């Protein structure tokens, strides 16, 4: 069971999508309202949704025909860093701090008890499927970072899984890790979607296959896959550090780090299209545009 949001006649509609891809509009604004109501009734979210849609007819449209929005208006998107060996390797390649044989900050954080967590995005900067992700005008080395996103409650309970793109500037971070906020946060630098898969309906969240495809002039120029079983940490561990002495809000998304990095010579260009797929969730597709053209 998945949750989507879409726009119809200027109205934002939250809907459940069943395993046979039938879309049922819900009488709630978003997943968090459904989760709260299900808890109030002492039911699982999926059982509660089943009671809501039972005997109803789904809409006569396929998901692909809908004007999809981000599946949740996440008040904040946080992100984890260097949680996969692939990310550690890529950061070590780009950083000017490395000296032969010496540990970098990336080596240390990969092995440390405390994970790297950073604020990635706010609701206004986060986009959903099909909206453009923007390129920074002051970077020459930009990539998408395909990541599994955890949708959590204010208590830190993982209620769903989505796909996130943690757009990143490798040259800005590589010049100095203290530039991380500029390498990570700008207008439309974070995309989530296309759906939230209810956590209760995921058999093994440590066995999700991610595939990233990048198209240029209609041609596939990058295609790489990885699996969440390669994650160095647990989801609960990442969440427990996020909520420690912190205030988090219902519907916060925590990205779990990238396991896919395009080849080192690759940088995104205006006109590219990025697709990130996790079969249990869907395909998050976004065109790439230069931010400077938008202002
Ligand atoms: O260390 C900087 C960011 C790492 C990151 O975003 C990732 O590993 O996904
Ligand atoms: Mg990342």
Per residue in 65-78, pLDDT tens?
999 999 999 999 99
* Averaged pLDDT of the chain: 96
The number of CA neighbours under 13 Å toward the Cβ of 99 is: 1
Please tell me the distance from the alpha carbon of residue 225 to that of residue 228, in angstroms, as a whole number: 10
Does the pLDDT at position 97 exceed 90?
Answer: no
Does the pLDDT at position 246 exceed 70?
Answer: yes
Please tell me the distance from the alpha carbon of residue 235 to that of residue 150, in angstroms, as a whole number: 8
Does the pLDDT at position 184 exceed 60?
Answer: yes
143-151 average pLDDT score: 98
- Confidence grade of residue 157 (pLDDT, cut at 50, 70, 90): very high
What's the confidence (pLDDT) of residue 50? 98
205-209 average pLDDT score: 98
The residue whose CA is least distant from atom 7 of ligand 1 is 81
Distance 109 CA to ligand 2 centre (A): 14
- CB of residue 69 inside a 6 A radius of ligand 1: no
Does the pLDDT at position 294 exceed 60?
Answer: no
Does the pLDDT at position 196 exceed 80?
Answer: yes
For the CA of 257, the closest atom of ligand 1 is: 9
What's the confidence (pLDDT) of residue 201? 98
- ipTM over cut 0.95: yes
164-173 average pLDDT score: 98
What's the confidence (pLDDT) of residue 51? 98
Distance 126 CA to ligand 1 centre (A): 18
Does the pLDDT at position 295 exceed 60?
Answer: no
Mutation test of ligand 1: which of 78, 81, 85, 256 has the most ligand atoms closer than 8 Å to its C-beta? Answer: 81
- Confidence grade of residue 293 (pLDDT, cut at 50, 70, 90): low
Distance 91 CA to ligand 1 centre (A): 8
**3-state SS string over 63-97?**
HHHCEEECCCCCCEEEEEECCCHHHHHHHHHHCCC
Q: Where are the domains of the chain?
A: 2-69, 76-294
* Class of residue 256 by CB neighbours under 10 A (exposed 0-12, middle 13-18, buried 19+): buried
Distance 68 CA to ligand 2 centre (A): 24
The residue whose CA is least distant from atom 2 of ligand 1 is 81
Q: Do residues 4 and 283 lie in contact, with contact meaning Cβ atoms separated by under 8 Å?
A: no
Which H or E element spans position 118? strand 116-122
124-152 average pLDDT score: 98
Q: Do residues 188 and 134 lie in contact, with contact meaning Cβ atoms separated by under 8 Å?
A: yes
Range 263-285 burial, b when 16+ CB lie within 10 A, else e: eeeebbeeebbbbbbbebbbbbb
Residues 4-62 have pLDDT tens digits of 999 999 999 999 999 999 999 999 999 999 999 999 999 999 999 999 999 999 999 99
Distance 131 CA to ligand 2 centre (A): 20
Residues 254-290 have pLDDT tens digits of 999 999 999 999 999 999 999 999 999 999 999 999 9
What's the confidence (pLDDT) of residue 235? 98
The DSSP letter of residue 9 is: T
- CATH architecture type of domain 76-294: Alpha-Beta Complex (3.90)
């Amino acid at each position: 069971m998945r949750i989507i949001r879409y726009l119809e006649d200027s109205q934002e509609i939250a809907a459940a999508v069943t395993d046979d891809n039938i879309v049922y509009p819900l009488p709630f604004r978003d997943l968090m309202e459904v989760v709260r109501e299900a808890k109030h009734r002492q039911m699982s979210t999926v059982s509660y949704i089943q009671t809501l849609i039972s005997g109803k007819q789904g809409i006569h449209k396929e998901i692909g025909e809908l004007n999809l929005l981000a599946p949740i208006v996440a008040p904040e998107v946080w992100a984890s860093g260097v949680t996969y060996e692939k990310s550690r390797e890529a950061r070590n390649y780009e950083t000017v701090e490395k000296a032969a044989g010496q540990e970098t900050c990336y080596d240390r954080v990969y092995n440390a008890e405390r994970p790297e967590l950073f604020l990635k995005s706010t609701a206004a900067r986060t986009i959903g499927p099909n909206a453009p992700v923007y390129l920074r005008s002051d970077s020459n080395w930009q990539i998408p970072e395909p990541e599994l996103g955890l949708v959590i409650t204010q208590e830190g309970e993982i209620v769903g899984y989505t796909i996130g793109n943690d757009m990143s500037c490798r040259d800005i971070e590589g010049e100095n890790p203290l530039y991380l906020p500029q390498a990570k946060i700008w207008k439309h630098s974070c995309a989530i979607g296309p759906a939230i898969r209810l956590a209760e309906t995921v058999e093994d969240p440590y066995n999700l296959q991610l595939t990233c495809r990048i198209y240029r002039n209609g041609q596939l120029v990058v295609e790489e896959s990885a699996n969440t079983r390669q994650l160095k940490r647990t989801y609960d561990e990442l969440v427990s550090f996020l909520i420690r002495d912190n205030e988090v809000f219902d519907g916060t998304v925590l990205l779990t780090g990238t396991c896919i990095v395009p080849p080192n010579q690759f940088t995104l260009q205006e006109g590219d299209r990025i697709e990130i797929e996790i079969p249990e969730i869907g395909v998050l597709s976004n065109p790439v545009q230069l931010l400077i053209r938008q202002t």
